[in-house]
Amino acid sequence: MGEARGTQVEIEVTGIAHGGISVGRLDGRVVFVSDAIPGETVVAEVTDDSKKSFWRADTVRVLQASPHRRDHVWAEASVDRAPEDRAGGAEFGHIDSAHQRELKRQVITDSLQRMAGIDRDVVVEALPGAEDGTGWRTRVRLHVSESGVVGPYAARSHRVIPVESLPLAAAEAQVIAPLSEQFTGADHIDLVVPSVGNPFVLQGSADRKERPKAQRIVERVGDREFRLDVRGFWQVHRDAAQTLTTAVQDAVDENLFDPRAANLDLYGGVGLLAAAVGDRFGNHVRITTVESDPHATDHAAENLAEWVGANAVTGRVEHYLRGVLKDAGAAERDRLTRATVVLDPPRSGAGKQVVDQLAELSPQQLVYVACDPVALSRDLALFAGKGYDLTGLRAFDLFPNTHHVEAVATLVRR
């Protein structure tokens, strides 16, 4: 072990793995290769040979290129650069946009089959914007090196790479990005481009003991406005909030929806998806949104004020559900079994505890918004074991030129 690291090997790349890494084999050993495309033959430098079962490697030269290869949309991340000097965050930027979506489709369908035993195809739908997948990020985090240089991290590293461009960023963020400036007393810089008002450049420090003073911004989705903290969570693609609003509205089976039930919006943030449900079914909808960030919950209460039956609760989802299971009387239990639950968990997924709790509450249907196909598939397998069937699935390319993909799944109680 350790003898292969740093050596260059020729590899035929045959597939794509979760995480945006291509897969090949060398003398029977699996090799995960960055910056390659299935179907290519590349020369790759081994970066990790610590495991017996697989190695990791970076493409340094393409011998036989895929017809889907293009010049990288971000010059500072191109295969022409030494791997350690490539900017991270655009790992699919060398692949034409349509084929990026095809690879993401393959990852979703493979994850569903392997982890949940579900054979189901899906189309990864493009969002509005540039055909090459640039100019969509309304939130960009840049890091600051010890010497004050600003830039993204190198791929799979905490090394700051100086860059002259940010092609995935919205034009407004590109204009204000302080790429040539030196910073002291900060370890990162956030660029925030709200849909209403001026963009922001925000300094941040990991050593900061107190949360920075809250500053409110407004995001507009259709005719509706949402208030939130300038540093709070919001969908990054400028069209993502509208896309997910419409997708969640479409995913709810109206024949199973009861506006008077104890409907839930879990991991609800500032109330975007709760509002989507309310806008579809009317201001008499009863829905509780649950979020662990108290600042977001405060904003959710304001953003959902027009719905008399809306309620915003601060707390971890598993703690909230535990309390409901413990304290709900017969009438509330009945409202829960008639409920629709929307959940948008973090990348790690909802997990067994939350799935078990939801299954015990036994709602009519769930709409699961997922940013990780493996976590989604794992949770779908758990839900299937609790009597819930996958009845609808859509996928969206919310993160062009990266491996990330968003999915919206509908599950119905048998």
Q: Of 307, 240, 238, 298, nearest to 274 (Cα)?
A: 307
> What's the start-to-end Cα distance of the chain, in Å?
51
Active-site residue, 248 included: no
3-state secondary structure of 327: helix
> Which DSSP symbol is given to 85?
G
Q: Which residues pair with 31 in a beta bridge?
A: 24, 55
3-state secondary structure of 395: strand
C-alpha to C-alpha distance for 173 and 140, rounded to whole angstroms: 8
Sequential DSSP letters for 33-62: EET--TT-EEEEEEEE---SSEEEEEEEEE
C-alpha to C-alpha distance for 207 and 241, rounded to whole angstroms: 32
Phi, psi of 110 (to 5 degrees): -65, -40
Q: Is 291 annotated as a binding residue?
A: yes
Instruction: Please check whether residue 150 is in contact with residue 142, taking contact to mean a CB–CB distance below 8 angstroms.
Output: yes
> Which DSSP symbol is given to 126?
P
CA dihedral (178, 180, 184, 185) in degrees, to 10, reads 30
Which tokens belong to 190?
Answer: 């956030």
Q: Of 88, 201, 183, 173, nearest to 145 (Cα)?
A: 183
Q: Is 267 annotated as a binding residue?
A: yes
| Amino acid type, 375 | A
| Active-site residue identified among 87, 191, 371, 407 | 371
Which tokens belong to 84?
Answer: 């350690």
Q: Is 91 annotated as a binding residue?
A: no
Q: Is 388 annotated as a binding residue?
A: no
Known binding residues for S-adenosyl-L-methionine: 235, 267, 291, 344
Residues with a catalytic annotation lie at 371
Known binding residues: 235, 267, 291, 344
